[in-house]
């Protein structure tokens, strides 16, 4: 997912990490306490979705679930930015406290619809 919302976050001081190709970034039970922004590189989810620079990895799972289910693997060297859940939550709820709950509900509904088809 690409989003101007993510670009507006104060991410300059957030942790960054560079990883090699074939590194598994998330999935199989990793807690959704943070989301990963792919600053550079390319990665692919087990679902076949290919992520490019400036994509947020598994954002729906981050919002809806307590653990990531879909593994994402680097296709080449990638630079990552780790964004904590609380920063996303505070930013979404900044204008309206119901926004966080609504976003989580919509993400869960979409994941359930995907699983049913």
Where are the chain's structural domains? 4-111
pTM for this model (two decimals):
0.87
**Cα–Cα distance between 92 and 100 in angstroms, integer?**
6
Q: What are phi and psi of 84, to 5 degrees?
A: -70, 150
Going by C-alpha positions, the residue among 21, 2, 4, 5 that lies closest to residue 99 is 5
pLDDT digits (tens, 9 = 90+) for 29-75: 899 999 999 999 999 999 999 999 999 999 999 999 999 999 999 99
Reading the block at residue 78, the tokens are 């990638």
**Cα–Cα distance between 108 and 86 in angstroms, integer?**
19
pLDDT at position 115:
81
Tell me the CATH class for 4-111: mainly beta
pLDDT at position 9:
82
**CA 17 to mean position of chain CA atoms:** 15
Mean pLDDT of the chain: 91
* Positive or negative torsion for Cα 56, 62, 67, 71: negative
């Amino acid at each position: 997912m690409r989003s101007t919302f993510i670009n507006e976050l104060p991410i300059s001081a957030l942790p960054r990490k560079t990883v090699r190709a074939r590194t598994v970034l998330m999935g199989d039970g990793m807690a959704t306490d943070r989301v990963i922004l792919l600053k550079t590189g390319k990665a692919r989810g087990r679902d076949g979705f290919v992520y490019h620079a400036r994509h947020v990895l598994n954002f729906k799972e981050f919002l809806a679930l307590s653990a990531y289910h879909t593994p994402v693997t680097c296709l080449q060297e990638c630079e990552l930015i780790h964004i904590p859940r609380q920063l996303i939550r505070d930013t979404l709820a900044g204008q309206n406290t119901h926004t966080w709950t609504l976003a989580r509900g919509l993400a869960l509904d979409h994941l359930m619809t995907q699983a049913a088809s």
